[in-house]
Amino acid sequence: MSLGKLTYFPVMAKGLQLALIAEHSGLGWEGQTKGRGEGPEDWPQLKVQCPFGQMPFLVTPEGLSIGQSTAIANYMGRKADTLGKTDAEYAVSQMCMAEGEDLFGLLGAAKLQVWQTPENRLPAEEVEKFWTEHFPRHFACLEKLCTASAGFTSTGTTVGEIYLFGVLLQISLMRSECLSPFAALKKWFDTLASDPKTKKVIDGSSAIGTLNQYFHNA
């Protein structure tokens, strides 16, 4: 069984989470990255294949084009049976995914994207508030939820957990110590980070190839 072909830019951003979910699914999948060139296979010409004119998008073996990151993630989870073993685990997994989206939104609000020009970036003291106030507040909430032996659920690898991990990884690449005060969250994160399937995506040897960091150190 194949999940289909995942297409995104050659950056982590929203693509890392989906590549991780696909790799952890145990199912076959294809991946490709596209630039903003003018060739027939470059991103501008691919917009017509996307339901909302955005990447990432996944084309299933049946030819269905799925847009929106969380929709793609949940489709993969349904195919791989990683949405959660119980209704409660499904709910927790979905909370993790939604929290991943909130954290990604904070990264954008802090204007930490690599493409931000110096004049558009926030003053250093404002950026620092994200690290000392906003991110820790979210991490503390996650810590309270991370009560299962494997993480947030009995497996620690539901689709929502992996999605959350992908965002946390991008945050930790900027400040590696940011999760250290949160013991349970850090333990789950480190366990998932050491998984060979995770390493395969991070080192660029998965189906989608190399995905570069989307945010700059701040």
d(CA 161, CA 84): 10
Q: CA 116, 204, 76, 192: dihedral to nearest 10 degrees?
A: -90
Q: How far is CA 203 from the centre of its chain?
A: 15
pLDDT at 43: 73
Token pair recorded at residue 83: 């949405």
Q: How many CA atoms lie within 13 A of 48 on its CB side?
A: 4
Inform me whether the pLDDT recorded for 38 exceeds 70: no
Model confidence, pTM = 0.96
Q: How confident is the model at residue 78 (pLDDT cuts 50, 70, 90)?
A: very high
- pLDDT tens digits, residue range 83-138? 999 999 999 999 999 999 999 999 999 999 999 998 999 999 999 999 999 999 99
**Residue pLDDT, tens place only, 132-160:** 999 999 999 999 999 999 999 999 999 99
Q: pLDDT tens, 187-200?
A: 999 999 999 999 99
Amino acid at 123: P
